[in-house]
């Protein structure tokens, strides 16, 4: 694609990009760094980035981490695409924005909010993006008269097979959306990355904020045959499971699992070597996550080719994790570890130390203020998060703030170095000790000896939350649960949360 047709395709014109030879960025009048903002969908922590013994191979994430700071204990704001991405891009926690679920249209709830790319555009940056940045679908659509990006290439539809790869011919799993398997057609992330590669070749006299939204490993779990060859079926590992794992989980926690319970119930019942089995699904998730890592590698290669890598701040994150049979579920939408712990890397030349690792629990809600801080933009007082620059400079610096996660109004988890404490809107609780229980099999919330731990972690939960205009009696999170409308919610007749 030549420069003229590229500009026509993105619809930005000379107001966005300046002249110059493709592949050679013009000498900028503004010496502030560029930003490469990489979003990945549904990638959990079962990768070699976190542990070389993990099954999912992510050499390019490791390559990126070697350039800057890897936050080994990073957590999403919400274990669902729309509230997680909205929180990152607006800097507002769900309790402040009202975006609690995938169907909440952020542009209607927050008509005047200044999004992260808008903040950069207002202070002299060219802003471009492609793929899945906000949530796809109606709720995640940008404001037509006040868009977040000056140029944007939307996510292409999946090139669906007929019939499904996974062998299901009836029910929800027969739909492309819930498919998995070897897929030889061009995957939509290739379209996204090709567009971003072209954008990197263009020239601008303004610093550039460039976002790349990689859809994999979101369902359908697809990858090409060459990628699958790295994950032989007979060597596929599935997460450990405990019989009766949900016996000590409160009703709302079990409701969260039930959101897509049909996946687990079907795959666990299939013969292991079936294309619709849990083991095959896990194999396909691993290959799909590997494919996403390959897309990251292409972006890094292209950035290096521009000669601007040493003047580019890179941030990579996943919107949430994913359960793969652990906790008796194959879903996100829960407040447990595997649905909330994510890869998170920041490379800031001149600030981060190559190969540094931060072990403090941190939230992705801090991305907005951190990028503004790194690039010299004015501080925005209304943001819910704080800058991570002190940890980028010194990863072991004191950091008293645990990570906060929210799924629906009134349901929160707090993750400290050792503990995960969950409290639901009806006052029911979970508490897990990660020193002895990494898969969260034993709920310690009713042990009086842990009352102080719960009290200390509960201090970080929201004191006030904006309403969520839903029918509580019908919403899947609150089915078979009643509570009063006190600020923190409490089941009628239940004991107060300790």
Residue whose C-alpha is closest to residue 61's, from 74, 71, 51, 48:
48
Residue entry with tokens 């992330």: 189
The per-residue pLDDT for 31 is: 84
pLDDT of residue 392: 98
Write out the H or E segment, with its range, that includes residue 203. Answer: none
Of residues 74, 38, 39, the one with CA closest to residue 363: 74
Q: Note if the pTM is more than 0.85.
A: yes
The CA-atom distances, in angstroms, between 474 and each of 31, 255, 260, 300, 471 are: 54, 12, 16, 46, 6
Q: What does the pLDDT look like over 180-203, one tens digit per residue?
A: 999 999 999 999 999 999 999 987
Q: Which of the four pLDDT bands, split at 50, 70 and 90, describes residue 470?
A: confident
* Residue 355 CB neighbours (<10 A): 12
Task: Calculate helix-pair angle for 261-269, 278-306, nearest 10 degrees.
Answer: 120
User: Using DSSP, how many helices (H) and how many strands (E) does the chain show?
Assistant: 15, 17
By annotation, the residues acting in catalysis are: 81, 135
The tokens for 232 are 């032989």
Max CA separation in the chain (angstroms): 71
In angstroms, the CA 410 to CA 324 distance is 26
Q: What is the mean pLDDT of residues 149-169?
A: 93
> Average pLDDT for residues 289-312, to the nearest whole number?
97
Residue 302 has pLDDT above 80, yes or no: yes
Q: Could you tell me if 296 and 49 are in contact, meaning their C-beta atoms sit under 8 angstroms apart?
A: no
The neighbour count for residue 30, using CB atoms within 10 Å, is 12
Tokens in use for 209? 């904020």
Cβ-proximal residues to 226 (8 Å cutoff; 6+ apart), any chain:
none
Strand-pair category, 412-415 with 34-40 = unpaired
In contact, 106 and 86? CB cutoff 8 Å: yes
Give the residue from 486, 416, 494 showing the smallest Cα distance to 458.
Answer: 416
| Percentage of residues of the chain with pLDDT beyond 70 | 91
């Amino acid at each position: 694609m030549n420069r003229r047709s590229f500009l026509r395709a993105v619809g930005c014109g000379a107001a966005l990009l300046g002249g110059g030879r493709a592949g050679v960025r013009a000498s900028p009048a503004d010496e502030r760094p560029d930003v490469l903002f990489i979003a990945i969908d549904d990638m959990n922590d079962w990768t070699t980035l976190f542990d070389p013994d993990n099954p999912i191979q992510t050499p390019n994430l490791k390559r990126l981490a070697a350039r800057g700071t890897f936050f080994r204990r990073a957590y999403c704001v919400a274990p669902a695409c729309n509230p997680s991405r909205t929180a990152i891009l607006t800097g507002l926690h769900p309790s402040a924005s009202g975006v609690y679920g995938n169907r909440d249209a952020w542009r209607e709830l927050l008509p005047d909010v200044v999004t992260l790319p808008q903040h950069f555009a207002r202070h002299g940056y060219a802003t471009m993006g492609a793929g899945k940045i906000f949530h796809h679908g109606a709720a995640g659509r940008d404001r037509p008269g006040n868009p977040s990006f000056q140029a944007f290439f939307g996510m292409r539809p999946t090139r669906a097979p007929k019939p499904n790869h996974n062998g299901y011919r009836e029910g929800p799993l027969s739909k492309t959306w819930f498919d998995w398997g070897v897929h030889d057609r061009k995957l939509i992330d290739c379209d996204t990355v090709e567009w971003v590669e072209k954008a990197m070749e263009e020239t601008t006299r303004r610093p550039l904020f460039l976002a790349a939204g990689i859809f994999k490993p979101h369902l359908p779990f697809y990858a090409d045959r060459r990628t699958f060859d790295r994950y032989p079926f007979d060597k596929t590992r599935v997460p450990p499971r405990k019989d009766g794992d949900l016996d000590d989980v409160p009703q709302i926690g079990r409701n969260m699992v039930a959101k897509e319970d049909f996946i687990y119930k079907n795959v666990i019942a299939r013969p292991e070597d079936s294309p619709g089995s849990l083991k095959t699904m896990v194999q396909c998730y691993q290959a799909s996550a590997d494919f996403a890592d390959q897309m990251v590698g292409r972006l890094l290669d292209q950035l290096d080719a521009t000669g601007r890598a040493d003047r580019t701040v890179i941030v990579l994150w996943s919107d949430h994790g994913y359960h793969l049979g652990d906790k008796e579920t194959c879903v996100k939408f829960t407040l447990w570890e595997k649905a909330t712990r994510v890869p998170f890397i920041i490379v800031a030349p001149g600030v981060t130390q190559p190969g540094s690792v931060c072990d403090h629990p941190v939230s992705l809600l801090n991305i907005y203020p951190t990028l503004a801080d790194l690039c010299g933009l004015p501080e925005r007082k209304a943001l819910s998060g704080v800058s991570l620059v002190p940890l980028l400079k010194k990863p072991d610096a004191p950091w008293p703030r645990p990570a906060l996660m929210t799924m629906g109004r009134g349901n929160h988890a707090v993750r400290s170095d050792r503990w995960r404490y969950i409290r639901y809107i009806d006052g029911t609780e979970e508490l897990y000790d990660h020193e002895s229980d990494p898969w969260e099999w034993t709920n310690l919330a009713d042990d009086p000896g842990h009352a102080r731990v719960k009290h200390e972690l509960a201090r970080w939960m929201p004191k006030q939350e904006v309403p969520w205009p839903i029918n509580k009696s019908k919403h899947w999170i609150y089915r078979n649960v009643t509570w009063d409308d006190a600020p923190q919610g409490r089941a009628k007749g239940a004991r107060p949360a300790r």
